[in-house]
Amino acid sequence: MGVERKEVRYVMVGSESAGQRLDNFLIRLSKGVPKSHIYQVVRSGQVRINRGRAAADQRLSVGDEVRIPPMRIATRAAAPRPTPATMLPVVFEDEHLLAVDKPAGVAAHGGSGVSFGAIERIRAARPNQPFIELAHRLDRDTSGLLLLCKSRRALLQLHAALRQGEVEKRYLALVAGRWHNDRQHVKLALSKGGAGAGGKVRVDPLGGSTSHTVLELREKLQHFSLLDAELRTGRTHQIRVHLAHLGFPIVGDDKYGDFDLNRRVARAEFGARLARMFLHAWQVRLRHPVSGEPMSFTSPLPPECAEFLQALRG
């Protein structure tokens, strides 16, 4: 239930919103509008930037004109439950940068059926922090290091570093099968699926976006392999799709994985139970977005992943 805001609005982007994602910009401007409705009107093409269709993750520039269509404001009965003020474990923090350790099962942000994610929880836990934004994303079922910025200056600099490949992000992935190469570069272009694809990303050599993953063998196990995956580009589901396409799906991946194997893993047929995807962002290396100081953050494997590995070794 809700009431419809009648008018179309045209908003000019100022310097305070430069570099911000469209979805975050709309959420802040559209108080009382359910996030699911905001994402729906963006997907339908009703939100436009400079008269052109826009995606939720499009970055804004000073002087952009954003067309905001009439949107449904939630009534009191339909109001979402309050966001829990839950601060995720802090790995590093200063006046510009925040690195947290995100658990599996927590989305990076709300939307698409998720009421709230890591960013909403952190904002609720830090009500006096005037500015805090995600610098990048992690899949909901991926655990590990997540970077946020506490100043607009840091956010713009870190986004530039990410675009230029100056931030090194490494993941640990347990895959089905016996991986043989010590080090392998995977360059497979990726495209997001169209309507009816269920949100899946696919390998698309002709029309896809350039995607580059570097895979290193960490450990061979009887039916599995532990890999270190370095992202050279940051496409949606990149590691998951690259590995599945090569015939080495990530254990526990419910979108691109081996579903029969996932059921066996969840039933503890390999000595321990694992009820999540084994993909963990374990290391980030970068230069501080303001001071330029070299920095390196690490996150240990979560207990459920470490215990499953130990059972396989045994």
Tokens 């100043």 found at: 151
Catalytic residue among 23, 64, 139, 141: 139
For the chain, the C-alpha Rg in angstroms (whole number) is 21
**9 vs 5: CA distance, rounded Å:** 10
64 tagged catalytic? no
95 within 8 A of 40, measured Cβ to Cβ: no
**15 vs 28: CA distance, rounded Å:** 15
Tokens 């694809």 found at: 197
Point out the residues that are catalytic. 139
